[in-house]
Each structure stands twice: as C-alpha cells, then as structure tokens.
Amino acid sequence: MFKKNILLALIALILSLSLILSQGILCQPCYAKEKKDDYSAKALYLMDYNTGEVLFEKNSQEKLPVASIVKLMTICITCQKLDEGAINLDQKVVVSENAAGMGGSQVFIEANAEYTIGDLLKSTIVSSANDASVALAEVISGSEENFVELMNEKAQKLGLKNTNYSNCTGLPTINQFSSAEDTAKLLKEVFSYDAYHKYSTIWMDTLLHPNDRESELVNTNKLIRHYEGCDGGKTGSTSEAGYCLVATAKRGNMRLIGVVLGAENGKARFAETSKLLNYGFLNFENKLVVSKSFTDDLSIEVIGGEQKNAYIEPEKEIYLLLKKNSNDEISTEIKLSENVKAPIKKGENLGEILIVKNNEIIQTVNLVSKNDIESASYFDILQNISNNWKIA
C-alpha cells in the first residue's frame, strides 16, 4: 500500500509538471517592464550601444549637475587631439601652478614639473584627477577658459542638447549641467577612441612624479572590477550633484551604457547602475544581421572600367535589438544597381541590403565599392578585344 501511494504521488507530480510546461509557466521569456519607482536616483538612462535604442529611462533629459562626469568631455577632446596627431601620449609637458593647485580629487602633480600626456590622461580616466584634467586643458587650448569653448562646441556637434560646460573638471560652478541621455551619448563617443581603452580598464596603478615620488591611482568606477563585462565609465559626486555614474559593459554581441544621476550615496549609484545593466542583459539581445564580411566575393559588373567587376561591401555593420525568446523572423535581401559605369570611387554606393523583420522592411544599408575603378583606356579596350578574339 505504501509503495502504491508513492507511485500515485509520482504520477501526480509528473502530470502537474506537464501541465505547467504546456502552459509555458516555466518557459516564459524573462522580459518584464522595469519600474521607475524601483530606483531612487533623480535620472536614469539605459541605451543599447550598437543601435542607440533606449531600453529604459527616467527624467533622462532633465538638466542636472553631473560633477566629475564633466571630465568625460575633457577626455573626449584629448583623445580626439591624439587621433588628429596634434599631441601624443609620450609628449612631455610642463604643468602650471594653476593646474597643480586644483583642489578636490587630485593626483598631486607638481607645478613646473614635466609629465607626459599619457600620464595626465591616465590620471584623469582612472582617478578622476582635477589637477591632471586642467593640465590637459591648458596644453591643448592654452587655458581652461579656451578649452571650455572647445567642450561646448563638441557638445553641439554630438547633439548634446541639454549640456553646457563652465569648467573641465566638474567642480561646482554656475551654468554647468548635462542630462542622463547626453551622458550616455558622450560615453559612446569617448568609447570610440583607442587612447581611452588604453586606460579605461585599469583598476590600480601608480603615477611616478619627477622626484621619484609616487601617487597611487585607483579607479573610481568600482564596476570595472566588480561587474562582468564592464570596461569603461566615469563617476562623479558633489553635494549638489549627488552620486553619479555612467558605465558600459559588454556580454556577447551586446554592449550597454547605463547612466545614474543624483543617487543618494556611492553604494546606491553602483547598485542602481548594475541593476540597469542587468535588466538590459537579461531581457534583450543584439543580433548581427549585416557584418563587414556579409558580401565577401560578391561583385557587380562595371561598364567601361579598367576592371570588369567592382567588389562591394556593406557601408557599416548592422545590429538589431531584440527581446530575448521572441519569435521575430529576420531576413535580408540584396539589391544591386544596374548599368554601373566607370569611373567608380571607393565607397561609392552600388546597391543596398534590405533588412526585413516579420515581413516588413525596417532598415537598409548601402553596398559600396571596396576600391577605385578607373575608366578603361584605349589600350585597355584593345587589349580586351584581343583577349576575347576568337579564330573560327
């Protein structure tokens, strides 16, 4: 009788599990709408890096003080100047008394001493050093005031509509503000520079001063060490701004940027940024639908060219943001231009790829020539005739 009861109980359990699975209770996608009330920070923003799509926001366009997150623009312009060749990382510069005397977060650089651009940039990225930030500004523009003009010009070019700068450090001042949305866009721009990546993942390091004195550098962004995939970001905190953080992390094909402004304390800014990123990674995914190798070996016939065919490639890679466990059907269709005539310039549009989601075209990307093709010369034409001449 006892064995019979056990058998009946097992059968009942199996039937119950079968019913649950058939109704999808254990197989439901993890997507769930995030609630703004679950966060204490004044403003939030979660953005998919590849597509620019917004996954979650709260007061994301509100103009707020962002403290040392202002230094992201200082870093951005410095990296831009490095890319342009106007300065280089090994270049030695003499630090002014003005820069060395900056208060707040600093690495205690010495006035009238030489430091490399690389050391100043590392100190700004890792330790959020006010003195190093002003030193960079003075090297690039001659003064912090002139550099601030560059900062605001760059903000306009990036479309940061709710941002204005009055200094390069983020120290409290009048008429300086940004927004959660603008902050995410700015980090995306900064992340495109190789020089930033040289220092963004450093957890601990040292700055060697000219007199062999050392300053310890510790990354103010704790997520670099404690959040899987985090490889960049910027902290900021003042009494007026509260505790702020922008951070980016990548898992698989997906990179996210999360912003928290005006959190109650340091612990809250890291916790709420982690929560934002977790929400994105748990519920969404990126699918690479058009890669640079998408059209490898695909060519298009060219009329009157020194070459018969032009090889083509997508103008850019295309990712789609999808909810996990969705049943969306994604496909692509290639359309090539007709009667293509030489000459052709590298990058010239020669067709397009249509991206189709659930039988609806949602995006297109140009197909462009991989190289220049000149018009055929008279000799090329004769040579072509000769090569194709057939003797009966």
Rounded (10°) CA dihedral 78, 79, 80, 84: 100
Comparing CA positions, the residue from 255, 226, 251, 227 lying closest to residue 47 is 255
Alpha-carbon distance of 380 to 376, in angstroms, equals 6
CA 355 to mean position of chain CA atoms: 23
Listed in order, strand segments (DSSP E) in the chain are 43-48, 54-58, 92-94, 114-116, 204-208, 214-218, 230-238, 242-251, 254-263, 284-290, 299-301, 309-314, 318-323, 330-336, 349-357, 360-369
Active-site residue, selected from the candidate residues 42, 58, 71, 234: 71
Residues paired with 172 in a beta bridge: none
Sign of CA dihedral 171, 175, 179, 183: negative
| Residue 179 to residue 60: CA distance in whole angstroms | 6
End-to-end CA distance of the chain: 99
323 classed as catalytic: no
Helix (H) or strand (E) holding 209: none
Tell me the CA distances in angstroms from 346 to 292, 342, 343, 367, 374, one per residue in order. 15, 12, 10, 11, 11
Q: Is position 337 annotated as part of the catalytic site?
A: no
**From 42, 58, 60, 68, active-site residue:** 68
Q: Which of 105, 128, 166, 178 is catalytic?
A: 128
Mark whether 71 is an active-site residue: yes
Contact (Cβ atoms closer than 8 angstroms) between residue 136 and residue 89: no
Q: What is the DSSP string of 218-284?
A: E-S-THHHHSTTEEEEEEEEETTTEEEEEEEEEETTEEEEEEEEEESSHHHHHHHHHHHHHHHHHHE
Q: Please identify which residue in the block is written with the tokens 């342009």.
A: 84
Distance CA 189, CA 44 (A): 19
Give the catalytic positions in this structure: 68, 71, 128
